[in-house]
Amino acid sequence: MKHMGKKKKWFKGQVLTVLPLYLFTLLFVLGPMIYMVVLSFLTRAETWGILPELTLKNYQDIGEPIYLKTFWESIKLAVVSTLLIVAIGYPFGYFMAKLTGKWKKRVTMLLMIPFWTSSLIRLYGWIIIFRAGGVLDKLLNALHVTEEPLKLLYTYPAVVVGMVYALLPFMIFAVYSSAEKLDFSLVEAARDLGASPWKAFLTVTLKLTLPGLLSGVVLTFVPSMGLFFIADILGGNKVILVGNLIQDQLMKAHNWPFAASLSVILLALTSVMIYLYRKISGVKELEGLV
């Protein structure tokens, strides 16, 4: 009995310490989310605001070709960006993990520094590089690669570059945290047992860094559908993502319920991805986040 009393007391103490955290999460994460879901089933008022009438119209609207196309384009862009990010980020993260202490710190530092400036400002940097007669054009002219300006700004490739640039560090850190735990003697054992370098990579290195790679994919694929300001700044009005659509519906069209339903779909997509990640990698936490 005495024992149980002790346990209870300990439990009480534990609850008290974490209670503020739960309240915070409830208030600022779960609360808005519930609000959003509820909102997505309500009716838009004629001019401004919401009418408390339940409807499925918002979800039916998403089925319209123009919006479906936006989803499709967003997914396409996300796939292209993510593939590029994997192609650059995986080897980068892997070899970063293999660096010696001093260089590891330096490279980590170089990756961290950009985070100290606003991502918006860094994006404007890309405008300077991409615009007609900008840094890139001048460089390519000087190297006699091109004569005419490339007119890269406000194009699809510019948006892809922006996405890759903004999200690459997440992939690098995710792969890095996985690769750092990889015991290199396992690769040697594979080679010793008859595997070619490529076979050893596929059966050992890739398998053991898969959790990092997959969490990198989740961390880049989902945001690249929603980072509307990248599409805005580098794509002009030519590239419209789900993120842009939500922003437009919310800020310009004032159609809050429709914006909410779009967000719910995006949230659902994200959840599916995280579910798949857990299924495939068997890991509960996203690697590289902690």
Tell me: does residue 195 bind another protein (CB under 8 A). yes
Integer Cα distance of 238 and 125 in angstroms: 20
Burial bucket for residue 225 (CB in 10 Å: 0-12, 13-18, 19+) = buried
Binding mask 201-230 for another protein (x = CB under 8 A): --xx--xx----------------------
Q: How far is CA 34 from CA 38, 49, 252, in A?
A: 6, 18, 23
Count of chain residues binding another protein (CB under 8 A): 18
Only one of the segments 46-54, 144-152, 186-194, 232-240 lies at the binding site for another protein (rule: CB under 8 A); that segment is: 186-194
CB of 204 to another protein, least distance (A): 6
Closer residue to another protein, CB minimum distance, 187 or 259: 187
State how far the Cα of 42 lies from the Cα of 258, in Å rounded to an integer.
9
Q: Is 79 in the site for another protein (CB under 8 A)?
A: no
The minimum distance between CB 98 and another protein, in angstroms, equals: 16
Part of the chain binding another protein (CB under 8 A), chosen from 105-113, 140-148, 163-171, 181-189 = 181-189
Whole-angstrom Cα distance, residue 153 to residue 92? 27
> If we measure between CA atoms, which residue out of 64, 101, 258 comes closest to residue 180?
101
∠ at Cα 127 (125, 132), nearest 5°? Answer: 135
Q: Tell me the per-residue interface mask from 31 to 60 with another protein, x by CB under 8 A, - otherwise.
A: ------------------------------
Contact residues for another protein, defined by CB under 8 A: 183, 185-186, 188-197, 199, 203-204, 207-208
